[in-house]
Amino acid sequence: ADWAAAVAAVRDLTPDSRVLLICHVNPDGDALGSMLGFAFGLRRLGVRHLQTTFPGPPEVPEPLRGLPGLDLLVPADEAWLDPDLVICFDAASASRLGTLAGRLDRVGTTTVVLDHHASNTRFGGINVIDPAAAATSVVAEELLARLGVPLDAEIAECLYVALATDTGSFRFAMTTPAVHEMAARLLATGIRPGEISRRIFDTRPFGAIRLYGDVLSRVQLAPDAACGLGLVWTYATLDDLTRHGQRPYVLEPLIDSVRCAAEADVSCVVKQIAEDEWAVSMRSKGGVDVSQVAVVLGGGGHRFAAGFTGRGSATEVVDAIRDELDRAVVPTEDQR
């Protein structure tokens, strides 16, 4: 990882420099949290001209609207075309940046990519990629430390939301001692983890609970899929959202209920985003590298959490996943 180059790029900034911070489409807690936390850090270093943005509609999911620093957010089409520095958060490839991808090629602008996806394509001029990091906010905190920026409550709240999101509230396998040590440093600034967690993870509109009922009632188990490892899946349509008056973000926690099924190693939720277009969330308990499956189907992600955009009907999308799973899993002797 180009730590020294990233530190130098930030140190080279002057009070007049304009810095554009960007993150991936449909931003999650890690994308927004690491981006906004780092923006506060740059402010502490005296950078006065800051914009943060992400591609697509400039809509922040309701649970993340309490994040400090959202006033720095501008719609993608209003962001500077010629900033002095671009810093990109939590995006494994330029394709995750939609219309903002073009900014990265502009002559004279350096792009620093901060990320933790093993599949990162190193599309920046300076790439600080740590696949061992539990979240991009781990990389962001380390870079702030190397820049000599002390943590304060605003930086910490953003980085904590990011860390808690990507570790599944400190439950997933990459929750190392270093992760807990970072969480301890963040909490030492006085932020309130109970309030933050309630806001981010445990507050949804009543209509969302009814919607979960509908979507979970359609859950299906295919024990023979993935060469016998099993697949559990469900889907949500645009009509489901309309009927219950809900925004798409409310569907995100559903994968955590679906993946509980003991009979399946792989789980997925197929979420309609247009007539023939579905955003797919995939999880694995360890038997399958779902990022490989996602990459073949045009997406990406991590070994045990990945996604892609599927086309056709929900059943066609799931059939495509099943085909790829059977290809990705090498059957063991007794499964053959």
Q: Identify the DSSP state of 180.
A: H
Out of 300, 304, 325, 329, name the contact with ligand 5GP by CB under 6 A: 300
Do residues 211 and 242 make contact, with C-beta atoms less than 8 angstroms apart? no
Interface mask (CB under 6 A) for ligand 5GP, residues 82-111, using x and -? Answer: ----------x---x---------------
- 299 is an interface residue for ligand 5GP by CB under 6 A: yes
Query: Quick one: tokens of 290?
Result: 């779902």
> With CB under 6 A as the contact rule, which of the stretches 73-81, 100-108, 239-247, 301-309 interacts with ligand 5GP?
301-309
- 116 is an interface residue for ligand 5GP by CB under 6 A: no
Q: Which does 97 bind (CB under 5 to 8 A by kind): Mn ion, ligand 5GP, none?
A: none
- Minimum gap (Å) between residue 12 Cβ and Mn ion: 27
Taking the least distance from each CB to ligand 5GP, the nearer of 52 and 165 is: 165
DSSP string, 21-45: EEE-SS--HHHHHHHHHHHHHHHHT
Which residue's entry shows tokens 């991009």? 136
Tell me the CB-side half-sphere exposure of residue 252, using CA atoms within 13 A. 22
How far from each other are the two terminal CA atoms of the chain, in whole angstroms?
Answer: 42
- Residues near Mn ion (CB under 5 A) are 28, 30-31, 90, 136, 166
Out of 308, 314, 317, 318, name the contact with ligand 5GP by CB under 6 A: 308
Taking the least distance from each CB to Mn ion, the nearer of 30 and 84 is: 30
Q: Which does 31 bind (CB under 5 to 8 A by kind): Mn ion, ligand 5GP, none?
A: Mn ion
Strand order in the sheet with 231-236: 220-222, 231-236, 266-274, 277-284, 305-311, 300-301
Strands 85-89 and 126-129: unpaired
185 SS3 class: helix
Out of 306, 318, 328, 329, name the contact with ligand 5GP by CB under 6 A: 306
Query: Quick one: tokens of 106?
Result: 């502009």
The rounded distance, in Å, linking the Cα atoms of 312 and 274 is 10
The rounded distance, in Å, linking the Cα atoms of 336 and 316 is 25
Out of 267, 281, 284, 292, name the contact with ligand 5GP by CB under 6 A: 281
- Minimum gap (Å) between residue 307 Cβ and ligand 5GP: 2
Chain residues binding ligand 5GP by CB under 6 A are 92, 96, 117, 255, 281, 299-302, 305-309
